[in-house]
Structure 1
């Protein structure tokens, strides 16, 4: 017996989403073109959580740019395509330019709202958020890094004025202050084996900050010679990579990728970026290496530039280099300010 259509029409959205999420994936994909609401359900909490292990829609590269005021476009690296819908923000985050997306980790996003002197930790899939007040006002900070686990998260940052390290722990909802580090650090922290690792400005060094003890430690491992810039990337647990330019007098002639050996005693060269790919990349950043940053996303090492609307990424499993295509929503005359993030929705990520 068919259900009365008026009953379906009166169902709350969250119940309708839950019912439809139990459809087989292939069946639902054939239905989603029938209306915009069905298409949007593809990214609903129930649907994503149910299909998160097998669905190609479970992780994305997220683009934050001044052109997108209340949402962020999503790129699906599995099907190598931009998604038809963007990631929308809740009302508290929909008042740019005062809102800035700064970091992401395991389904959580961290925004700053200077006008209210606070950070917002948000699980957009779970539709939950928490406001974390600045430790003091006014508050100048840099190198903010969000580190989340299955049941808590930490915020790390350096204070611009006093060069102290501050850590917020969601378990006890308190800030801790630790000594900073000299010389100047030139990238956000990279999570590896319970530590946050950074690279310094020249002379290049790798230094680590232990998230539990607040202890700083200089790496005793020498870096490759001839580096013109260097960045770290980690898969979070097993692998730590180093990508950098090699050249003379501060001008890169090539770009290479190294991996830290399992015994942690040396860097082993893995790849040399193909010459044509490298030439395009340096033409993008104009040898302004301070604009270059990197991150890990689901088996990809992503190399980005704040001034360019494309990502150069290395697929570790295939050992191949690719360019992520420009977002079709960007205007022909785009400006700088491209911030890219790895985003893997997690319904149960705790804020």
Structure 2
């Protein structure tokens, strides 16, 4: 899909989005060309229009670390990993390549990260975006960072809810509902999402460091653009620190959950031990009367059998009452 975004000065300098077919020419003044799951014909069309090379999906995925960011024929190629499907149980990272030229910004992607929707909602409003390709790139990176912060905040809220479920819940509810097992599974999902956020921010930080060190929008704005990149770098580093903090909370929560699971298991083992002790006196009595010696006068008693049963019940109840009195149960 070939998405073209033009700046419309007559409507408050906002982006106007158009979907082009393969046969339609690229309009003049297109500052952002968004290639979503592009075909080979669409790639060739953009290559002929801007004189840049469009990487394929396989090339984007198999890039070496030294090839993630480079400059070729005056165009800056930057590949970042962006959070995608963060609301599902199986979040993932989507490779997005930014190609920044003097004429336009080209983005190549094969997924639909939520950050692009966030940026479009801003940029399609009056004065929602600058009029240069670099300004569009700034807005996209800002949206990616904002989305990562939003994902971390959502994970933090869910972790707090799970914490309350564990530390405020009753053990009987936990045993019957299997809440511990569900929490441990959720902890694994949260840790996977947090690691995705951290990995995404590391790749975005590399892009920002490259831009702050090498890119100048124009001679007039060369002194003004660097602080914007550096401010974004600080935001990214703050998110990375927040992700580390949430990860440590998850580790504590996992340790506490496993500790509580151990306590519940100890209770079960303790119960089995008590049952074994409770059954020892009846077993002893039954063993004695099961010998059937001739010299046992009780064998001739009419009430010998009821007496044996009564003794078994009494000696089964007495240890239980003793354990309750000692608060071992």
Range class of TM-score, shorter chain? under 0.3
Higher strand share: 1
Please give the TM-score of this superposition, normalised by the length of structure 2: 0.22
Please give the TM-score of this superposition, normalised by the length of structure 1: 0.21
Q: Larger C-alpha radius of gyration, 1 or 2?
A: 2
Higher helix share: 2
